[in-house]
Chain A
Amino acid sequence: MSGQSVVQRLTEYLSRVWAAPVIIEAFARIPGGASRETYRFDAIVAGRRHPLILRRDPPGSLIETDRRSEFLAIRSFHGKDVAAPEALILEEEGAELERPFFIMGRIEGGHASSPFAPNAYGVHAQAIGEQFFSMLGRIAGADAASLPIATVAAAPEPDACWRRELDYWANVIETDQQHPQPIVWAAIRRLRRDPPPPARKVCVVHGDYRSGNFMHDDAGKIVAILDWEMAHLGDPHEDLGWAMNPLWNHFDDTCVAGTVSKADAIGYWERASGLNVDPAALAWWELFASVKGQAIWISSAKEYRDSGLTEPILAFSGWYTARRQDEILADALAALEAA
């Protein structure tokens, strides 16, 4: 298998799985974060062209997520008005491609904006924000137990959602930190001292629902929600807290996700989900979001070093984003103390 290109291996795999000759065209890697290798390609079989995306595990993975969980999360919401792609093939053993991967339908006509680009949505910010938070509401409002993801994602007890997540990410920091982190540890202690109320509903949590993880058409329409690899079951406020983190506000403190006001975002979400936001719960999950973020950036820095300094996106996450998250955390802790 060594010496063969990814295209050759993919051609062999699909020809075998589809029991028909397959021609791969326009194969190219696209930016998609450091946790997966992402490629776009067209597969031509029986005279028909299929626009597809390949997501494959890299040699070392930043976030230890289950690709089956990601695959089933996407499958859970395809066709449910949340712009989830069509999940087609899951290969957990790697087969001809040697590392686990999955293939999904490619959605055309859109692109993802950097969350660090000011005014990314321009005159379409209102429309984008309404769709963004409404789609999140539909995810939260869905009956998780009836969805494919429920077959692999454990449902925590409503009063245990917070502890499971906080324990997990605190452990990531404990394991991966390479310099003492007084600010994030202060936040963790505060979160433990004042846990949130139990989740009113255990729902599907996207896990990385934010500006930068959806594609839009530059004309006010969201065409795809991306990056479902951290999907799990939990408190619906978790995704809201993450989406509203200042890190994703495009440097505009007057809005969330670079789109609409916080109040409007909550309104869209409540109408779409059929749920009501609990302010105390949301405040907790907002601070948690910064802890989770910092855990990811700390891991990025460690992975950058461990992988031989070869992935610049890890350097950026472990450096610029980590510094900015510390500032967000410090400001949040000071504001909570002053309240």
Chain B
Amino acid sequence: MTPTIPEILAGNAAALSSQAARDDAGDYLASRIGILATLSILAIQEVENGVAARVAENAAIRALFGEALAYDAELLGRLKDATAQTDHNLALSALDAANAELRRLLIALHEKVEAAPDGALEKKILGLYVEMARGRRLVLPGG
């Protein structure tokens, strides 16, 4: 997965508290500090939006599974179980763990859909990808 907020903040703290080598002074250090600042600002966005984005993505994937239940017998049991779940634990780590399982199922489903082929469900899956990616969008400072 992309680096987590705890990792980003821990990495930033370590970078800021470490002693820079003399050779690193100047452009390199200025660039490095700029990146640390940008990471901090992006972390604000993730703190604000990260839980909602994951809850929404997990729900959207489960909803899609609900439409595919009559489609593939092999995946049926796993899709049914996933569709019946909800996210009670809203810690980012718990949401990410649930998301990982949902994404694995989504990949398996998409492969079946491509093999069938099922153009209607394919279109829904691709639309879901757009929704997922936009839901996780980060905006650079000044953007």
Q: Which residue of A lies closest to B130 (CB)?
A: A330
Asked if A318 meets B38 with Cβ closer than 8 Å, knowing A28-B25, A182-B106, A182-B107, the reply is no
A301 touches B (CB below 8 Å): yes
Question: Is the C-beta of B132 less than 8 angstroms from some C-beta in chain A?
Answer: yes
Q: Using CB atoms and an 8 Å cutoff, list the residues of chain B in contact with chain A.
A: 1-3, 7-8, 10-12, 14-15, 18, 21-28, 31-32, 35-36, 38-39, 42, 96, 99-100, 103-104, 106-107, 110-111, 114, 122-123, 125-127, 129-130, 132-134, 136-138, 140, 142-143
Chain A residues positioned under 8 Å from B110 (CB to CB): 182, 186
Q: With A186-B129, A326-B133, A327-B133 in contact, do A6 and B114 touch (Cβ < 8 Å)?
A: no
Q: A179-B96, A312-B12, A330-B130 are in contact. Are A337 and B123 (CB under 8 A)?
A: yes
Q: Which residues of B contact A178 (CB under 8 A)?
A: 1
- B36: chain A residues at CB < 8 Å are 312
Which residues of chain B have C-beta atoms less than 8 A from A334's C-beta?
126-127, 129-130
Q: B106, A301: Cβ atoms under 8 Å? A: no
Q: How far is A251 from B99 in the complex, measured between Cα atoms in Å? A: 29
Interface range on chain A (Cβ under 8 Å from partner): 35 or more
* Segment touching B, from A45-53, A274-282, A303-311: A303-311
Q: What are 26 A-B interface contacts by the 8 Å CB criterion?
A: A5-B23, A6-B23, A29-B21, A29-B24, A30-B27, A31-B27, A31-B31, A31-B32, A178-B1, A180-B104, A180-B106, A182-B107, A183-B133, A189-B111, A251-B143, A301-B3, A305-B3, A315-B8, A315-B39, A318-B2, A320-B140, A327-B130, A327-B137, A330-B126, A333-B129, A337-B122
> Across the interface, do A320 and B27 meet the contact criterion of CB distance under 8 Å?
no
CA distance A324 to B134 in the complex (A): 9
Q: Which of A268-323 contact B (CB under 8 A)?
A: 301, 304-305, 308-310, 312-313, 315-316, 318-320, 322-323
Looking across the interface, which residue of chain B has its beta carbon closest to that of A180? Answer: B103
**A330 and B27 form a contact (CB under 8 A):** no
User: A143 an interface residue at 8 Å Cβ cutoff?
Assistant: no
Chain A 168-185: CB-based contact to B (< 8 A → 1; otherwise 0) = 000000000011111101
Q: Do A28 and B10 touch across chains, with their CB atoms under 8 A apart?
A: no
Please report A residues at the B interface, Cβ cutoff 8 Å.
5-7, 27-31, 39, 116, 118, 178-183, 185-186, 189, 193, 251, 301, 304-305, 308-310, 312-313, 315-316, 318-320, 322-324, 326-327, 329-331, 333-334, 337
Cα–Cα, bound, A335→B1 (Å)? 26
Note all chain A residues with C-beta closer than 8 A to B22: 5
Q: How far is the CB of B52 from chain A (nearest CB, A)?
A: 15
* B3 close to A319 (CB less than 8 A): yes
Q: A30-B27, A31-B28, A39-B23 are in contact. Are A319 and B138 (CB under 8 A)?
A: yes
With CB as the reference atom, state the residue of chain A lying closest to B140. A116
Per DSSP, chain B at the interface is helix
Q: Which residues of A contact B31 (CB under 8 A)?
A: 31
Taking the closest CB of chain B, its distance from the CB of A265, in whole angstroms, is 24
Residues of chain A contacted by B106 (CB below 8 angstroms): 180, 182
B12: chain A residues at CB < 8 Å are 312
Complex contacts, A28 vs chain B, CB 8 Å: 23-28
Q: Which residues of A lie under 8 Å from residue B125 when comparing CB positions?
A: 186
Cα-based distance from A6 to B22 in the complex (angstroms): 10
Instruction: Tell me whether B132 and A183 are in contact (CB under 8 A).
Output: yes
CB within 8 Å for A319 and B8 given contacts A29-B28, A31-B27, A331-B130: yes
Please determine whether B38 and A316 come into contact, CB atoms closer than 8 angstroms.
yes
Q: Are B32 and A183 in contact (CB under 8 A)?
A: no
Query: In the complex the two chains form, what is the Cα distance from A323 to B133 in whole Å?
Result: 7
- Contacting pair B8 A30 (CB below 8 A): no
Across the A-B interface, the 3 shortest Cβ-Cβ residue pairs: A179-B1, A309-B11, A180-B103
- Residues in A whose Cβ lies below 8 Å from that of B143: 118, 251
The reply to whether B138 and A304 contact each other, CB–CB distance below 8 Å, is no
Q: How far is the CA of A337 from the CA of B121 in the complex (A)?
A: 12
Q: CB distance A330 to B15 under 8 Å?
A: no
